[in-house]
């Protein structure tokens, strides 16, 4: 069990550029989540996949954000035309069951700084 | 809409002290509650999961309790150590939402 892996761990980009983050969940987990966290706050939900289907999207996920999970394996989160307000840590998590008994495991996060 | 509050925002204690971290929530219709630890600049590490039918869970020096009727959970840490210094977050699955709703966390510092 290698845990949830995220890449890159840190990304500095200029405003207006596109960035993409990758998440590899724990291998037997069919549920995958993306969260965003800013300093001093708890993580905020962005989106949820069950296998390859994107079942929930937060209102925080503007049109500039898109997430995919082809073949129900790894996932990517792309941010287009980045803005300074996008600077945050993007966390990926996975789990194998829904709700009750649903221990969620997080990755180390991907830090984004938009300058 | 579920709201989760953690008080205090920061706590400093001497090594060896027993301590309690608090988490309160507004909607008692929860499925489970999970406590996490987060070290600076790192991801979240799951500590304990309490299902809605349970009252408490224990792991080593940690004990988490859940009282749905009062909308509260506590995380008890026995014999605190400097290595326990971190931010502790509680999060809930509730309603029809598949996502976790997080509190803002309690930043714990254990002084040697």
- Please give the residue of chain A at the shortest CA–CA distance from B46: A105
Q: Which of residues 48-87 of A touch B (CB under 8 A)?
A: 48, 55-56, 58
User: Do the chains contact at B99 and A48, CB–CB below 8 Å?
Assistant: yes
Taking only the tens place, the pLDDT of each residue in B42-87 is 999 999 999 888 999 999 999 999 999 999 999 999 999 999 999 9
Q: Give bridge partners of residue B62 from the DSSP assignment.
A: B59, B77
Q: Which two tokens stand for residue A73?
A: 């394996």
Taking only the tens place, the pLDDT of each residue in A41-61 is 999 999 999 999 999 899 888
DSSP string, B81-105: -GGG-EEEEEEEEETT--SEEE---
User: Do the chains contact at A45 and B99, CB–CB below 8 Å?
Assistant: yes
Taking only the tens place, the pLDDT of each residue in A15-42 is 999 999 999 999 889 999 999 999 999 9
- Please give the residue of chain B at the shortest CA–CA distance from A47: B99
């Amino acid at each position: 069990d290698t845990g949830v892996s995220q890449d890159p761990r840190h990304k500095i980009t200029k405003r207006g550029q596109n960035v993409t983050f990758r998440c590899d969940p724990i291998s037997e987990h069919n549920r995958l989540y993306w969260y965003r966290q800013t300093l001093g706050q708890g993580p905020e939900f962005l989106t949820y996949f069950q296998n390859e289907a994107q079942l929930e999207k937060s209102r925080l996920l503007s049109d500039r954000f898109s997430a995919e999970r082809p073949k129900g394996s790894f996932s990517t989160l792309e941010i287009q035309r980045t803005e300074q307000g996008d600077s945050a840590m993007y966390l990926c998590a996975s789990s194998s069951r829904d709700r009750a008994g649903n221990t969620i495991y997080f990755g180390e996060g991907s830090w984004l700084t938009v300058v | 809409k579920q709201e989760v509050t953690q008080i205090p925002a920061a706590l400093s204690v001497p090594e060896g002290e027993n301590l309690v971290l608090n988490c309160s929530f507004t909607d008692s219709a929860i499925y489970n509650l999970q406590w996490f630890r987060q070290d600076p600049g790192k991801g979240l590490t799951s500590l304990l999961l309490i299902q809605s039918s349970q009252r408490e869970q224990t792991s080593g020096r940690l004990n988490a309790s859940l009282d749905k009727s009062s909308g509260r959970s506590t995380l008890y840490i026995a014999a605190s150590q400097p290595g326990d210094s971190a931010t502790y977050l509680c999060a809930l699955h509730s309603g029809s939402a598949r996502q976790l709703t997080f509190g803002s966390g309690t930043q714990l510092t254990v002084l040697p």
